[in-house]
Amino acid sequence: MSPELNDLIQWAREAGSLLRQRFGGDHSIRFKGSTDIVTEADHQSEALLMERILSRFPDHTIITEESGHHNGSDEHCWYIDPIDGTINFAHGFAFFCVSIAYAEAGHLRLGVVYDPIHDELFAAESGKGAWLNGVPIQPGSAASLRECLLVSGLPHHDHSPYTDAAFACFRDLTLRSQGVRRLGSAALDLCYTACGRLDGYWEFSVQHYDIAASALIAREAGCIVTKLDGDEDILKPPVSILAGNPKVYALLRDALRQHGL
């Protein structure tokens, strides 16, 4: 048995409602790394989503941020980020979401990203399109970097192999476009690119659970989405991401190539 888009929508709304109730309150924060944090709400959201999935699909594989890899059938795989944008959430900064993707035989089939504070639900089904709150979405029509508002993500520490290149690209593209935002949620960065609020997105190092749902949403909306080197197999680690309408995608690829990519 396979899930339907409405299953993901319902579960994302349930997890989002839990996050909305906890947003702005005090949190128990644990450091996973020097700046990498997890709150009690990440665990609660993840537990809810795991329970919903496993109660219907006990033999499916689930890959989650907080509790890792739950082995099941290779045919059916879920990618869950219970809060994408945990640092924003913990600071009371309203830019975070729940991200749920389902892949069948290695192909992304369903994706839902829910921003509970703005009550915005992005969804996509492979071959059928992408929607924001039920309305079809498409990327913007920018055809030059000067027309673009871009977004990226940056490492928080300087022992990443990508730190220098990521900051160099951020600087370069800031000077060549209308600006590059650093908003702190890879999933929403991609969804905002999918619906034309932003024109292009790249990030040197993300995880598959960060971008699985939103990559399907952006592709179904009409963006090209690959790793930075052009590889279309975005779920295969190490994961990086580059997205935009076809013209902006090509312009960003050229710009990133000038930095040795």
Per CB under 5 A, residues contacting Ca ion are 65, 81, 83-84, 210
- Residue 99 or 177 with smaller CB distance to ligand IPD: 99
For ligand IPD (CB under 6 A), the number of binding residues is: 13
- Residue 11 or 192 with smaller CB distance to ligand IPD: 192
Asked whether 140 and 245 are in contact (CB, 8 A), the reply is yes
**Is 85 near ligand IPD (CB under 6 A)?**
yes
**Is 206 near ligand IPD (CB under 6 A)?**
yes
Shortest Å distance, C-beta 87 to ligand IPD: 6
- Residue 125 or 203 with smaller CB distance to ligand IPD: 203
Residue type, 215: A
- In the region spanning residues 218 to 257, those forming contacts with ligand IPD, defined by CB under 6 A, are none
**Is 111 near ligand IPD (CB under 6 A)?**
no
**DSSP letters for 175-244:** HHSS-EE--S-HHHHHHHHHTTSSSEEEEEEE-HHHHHHHHHHHHHHT-EEE-TTS-S-TTSSSEEEEEE
Asked whether 100 and 214 are in contact (CB, 8 A), the reply is no
Asked whether 216 and 110 are in contact (CB, 8 A), the reply is yes
Shortest Å distance, C-beta 104 to ligand IPD: 24
3-state secondary structure of 229: coil
Asked whether 101 and 110 are in contact (CB, 8 A), the reply is yes
- Residue 137 or 186 with smaller CB distance to ligand IPD: 186
Shortest Å distance, C-beta 73 to ligand IPD: 26
